[in-house]
Amino acid sequence: MISIVIRNKNEAKALENILSVITTQYADDYSEILIVDNYSTDNSVEIALKYNCTVLNIKDFTYGRAINVGIEAAKTKYVLLLSAHAIPVGKSFFKNTLEALADTENVAGIRYINSFENYKRAAKNNFTVFKPLENGLMAACALINKEVWEQFKFNEELDAIEDKEWSERVFNNGFQLLDLNETYFYFIKRSAKANISRYKNETVSEYFLAKKTFPGIMAILGSFFKKVIFTNTGNYFKLLHHDILILKAKFEIRKKLKKKVSN
137-192 pLDDT, tens digit per residue, is 999 999 999 999 999 999 999 888 999 999 999 999 999 999 999 999 887 776 77
Distance CA 52, CA 185 (A): 23
Distance CA 204, CA 159 (A): 8
Instruction: State the average pLDDT over residues 111-130.
Output: 94
H/E element, 2: strand 2-8
| Cβ-contact 156, 68 below 8 angstroms | yes
**Superfamily for the 2-210 domain:** Spore Coat Polysaccharide Biosynthesis Protein SpsA; Chain A (3.90.550.10)
Q: Is the pLDDT of residue 201 over 80?
A: no
For residue 90, is it left (φ>0), alpha (ψ between -120 and 50) or beta? left
Where along the chain do its domains lie?
2-210, 215-263
Helix, strand, or coil (residue 49): helix
Provide CB contacts within 8 A for 173, sequence distance 6+: 151, 152
pLDDT value, residue 261? 84
For residue 54, list its beta bridge partners: 34
**Strand intervals (E) in 172-257:** 176-180, 183-186
Distance CA 24, CA 17 (A): 11
pLDDT value, residue 230? 87
> By CB neighbour count within 10 A (0-12 exposed, 13-18 middle, 19+ buried), where does 220 fall?
exposed
Kindly report the average pLDDT of the chain as a whole number. 91
pLDDT value, residue 219? 83
> By CB neighbour count within 10 A (0-12 exposed, 13-18 middle, 19+ buried), where does 98 fall?
middle
Alpha-carbon separation of residue 246 from 12, 107, 249, 251, 259 (angstroms): 40, 52, 5, 9, 20
Q: Is the pLDDT of residue 76 over 80?
A: yes
Give tens-digit pLDDT for 39-48: 999 999 999 9
